[in-house]
A and B are shown apart, each in its own frame.
Chain A
Amino acid sequence: MTSLAIPFLRRALPGQLTWLTGVLAAVVLILAAMPIITMIIMSFGASDTLAFPPPSYGLQWYRAAWHTFMSPDASDVLSMGQALGTSLMVAFATMLIAAAAAIPAAYALNRFNFPGKAVVEQFIALPMVYPLVMLGISLLLVFNYFPVELGIFRLVIAHVILALPFAVKNCAASIAGIGPEFEEAAYLMGARPLRAMFDVVLPLMRPGILAGMLFAFIVSFNEFTVTFFLYDVDTMTLPVWLYSRTVSSLDPTVFSFAVFIVLIDFGLIWLLEKLVGDDGVAL
């Protein structure tokens, strides 16, 4: 509130939020959302060209999409429902496994000092900069020579690797705000370490854990590149299914499906935002 005391400075300082910065930020964000907005508007169009804005509006593409959903074309390798089911299953498994791996890791990185810690931290961030295509083909190579048929776990393993940096960082950010005195107090009260962990530390970490889990779910649900290398007919996810429909031609039915996915995403991101709230997302 000091800024109110010297109001003439408010507009002059770099790094301060002025109306100009605010407007610029809004413009950038609207531009960044343009592809999504355009596609949503397009899905309500009533002509079968890709001209934008559509000359007239209607729900015909939604009807067509609903029709496809209810009675899959015999020529389709796989129905959308099956792909959606696989997507949700993979995303759910990714979320649980990523959280189960990330929580102890975040705890270890925050509470212990050990040789090699810096290297481990770098290593955990690696999947964020690891080329997706390389991850795709390298996992394909490894899985092809793996003696056991992994089924959808091929995708789950890949997605967990991709989601780990997000999950660990969000869990670590939440544990950083909890001092060791909470556990110490629990020990003083006679709690054993495991009990202190489950009754004191984990509940306090909940926002970060949930944010990490949601992040993992969203990353998995939207993952396209790596899945594109690893899928087969039994393990096709929704994005790959959508892609397979558009290889030959782009028909606006696809936009209706896409809007459906975007709505799910929007709900998840809104929820994520509600969880991390003021702390922001750790990246």
Chain B
Amino acid sequence: MLDQNSNARPWLLLLPVLLFLAVLAAAALAVIRMSVGSNGDEWHSVSLSSYADLATPYYMKSLWLTLRLAFQSTVLAVLLAIPVAIAMARAKSKLARRLLLTGVLLPLLVNLLLQSYGWLIILGPGGVLNNSLLALGIVQRPVQWLYRENGVLLGLIQTAFPLAALPMASALKAISGSYEEAAATMGASRWQILRHVLLPPAMPGILSGALLVFAYNASAFAVPLLLGGRRVSMLAVLVRDQITPLLNWPAASATSVVLMLATLAVMALSQKLVQRSQRMLGDAQ
């Protein structure tokens, strides 16, 4: 009796959270069901026509664009996050740490719509970026950044890099600086320290940050909508377009299922790759 009670207790405590997640699961199932319905008779018919319609060059291009931009923004966001994460993990002064964390949280938490307004001013034909590039003589005439892939990429990196920095910082914080010093005293080179002391324990943090950025940007909506306009149609924007003007629920659902599956596939794949590389790192030691 007592034993059974202690088995039930964690589930009882988890119940409220699980209820909300059940709503999420039910909603996901509804979308999957909808995606195999046909337009007009969504709940009763079963057809794969929505998926077949996705096999057009237009959608394939959009899927490829989405994955490519998500991947590029992930690599660049992780690189940019490295110095920030080191500073967050190692800064000694309290004020510096406060400023760093505030600086990291602002782009993540402030409404993307407002940040896009700022980007519109920066990237516009007479914006700061073009003016500085012209002044520096790097370009001869204003570059069109808005409603182009490059502008969207900048926005994606800027809004998602905190997701890479935060897990990386907490992973680094867990590695005491004295390990590096110990290794250095024993005659390890910088490269050896990086490879054998720093990277193995930091890897989970870097990876989880990278995956967060990837998933976040693969399904980005506000940034491509506002900075990309109609020209840079990432999948999430297509999903919206199929509902608001077209009211084609099955098509929208099928698109978002594809988006979800593509994200999951890439995440699973990269997790496998990292596991393998960690095994190799382990073997090398």
Residues of A at the B interface (CB closer than 8 Å) are 2-3, 6, 9, 12-17, 21-22, 24-25, 28-39, 42, 49-53, 100-102, 104-105, 107-109, 111-112, 114, 117, 120, 123-124, 126-135, 137-139, 141-142, 157, 160-161, 164, 168, 218-219, 221-225, 228-229, 239, 242-243, 246, 250, 254-255, 258, 261-262, 265-266, 269-270, 272-274, 276-278, 280-283
Contact = CB atoms under 8 A, between A and B. Distances in A.
B161 to A, nearest CB: 6
A32 B17 contact: no
25 contacts: A6-B184, A9-B181, A15-B90, A15-B180, A15-B202, A16-B180, A21-B86, A29-B100, A101-B20, A104-B13, A109-B14, A126-B24, A127-B24, A128-B215, A129-B211, A132-B236, A137-B243, A161-B24, A222-B111, A261-B110, A261-B111, A266-B102, A273-B102, A277-B97, A281-B105
Given A108-B9, A134-B239, A139-B27, A35 B122 contact: yes
A100 B19 CA distance: 13
A39 B221 contact: no
A22 B92 CA distance: 12
Q: Give the residue among A17, A258, A276 with the most B Cβ atoms within 10 A.
A: A17
Given A51-B126, A161-B21, A265 B118 contact: no
Given A17-B91, A265-B109, A280-B88, A35 B116 contact: yes
Contacts of A168: 17
B178 A2 contact: yes
Q: Give the residue among A39, A133, A255, A280 with the most B Cβ atoms within 10 A.
A: A133
Given A114-B11, A138-B27, 16 more contacts: A15-B177, A31-B158, A39-B117, A52-B128, A100-B16, A105-B13, A105-B17, A107-B13, A112-B13, A131-B215, A133-B236, A137-B31, A141-B27, A224-B111, A255-B117, A282-B170
A266 B83 contact: no
Contacts of B162: 32
Interface stretch (B46-54, B253-261, B272-280): B253-261
A223 B222 CA distance: 10
A225 to B, nearest CB: 5
Contacts of B194: 14-15
Contacts of B90: 15-17
Interface string B62-85: 000000000000000000110110
Nearest to A269: B105
Contacts of B88: 25, 280
Interface residues of B, number: 105
B9 A32 contact: no
Contacts of B260: 130-131, 134
Given A36-B115, A38-B118, A104-B14, A24 B211 contact: no
A273 B98 contact: yes
Main SS at interface, chain B = helix
Given A15-B177, A100-B16, A132 B106 contact: no
A32 B128 CA distance: 15
Contact of B127 (A16, A52, A269, A270): A52
Interface in B216-257: 216, 218-219, 221-222, 236, 239-240, 243, 249, 252-253, 256-257
A250 B113 CA distance: 12
B166 interface: yes
A280 B205 CA distance: 14
Interface in B4-45: 6-7, 9-11, 13-21, 23-24, 26-28, 30-31, 34
Interface string B171-195: 0110101101100110000100110
Contacts of A261: 110-111, 114
B155 to A, nearest CB: 8
Contacts of B203: none
Given A50-B121, A255-B117, A133 B181 contact: no
B153 interface: no
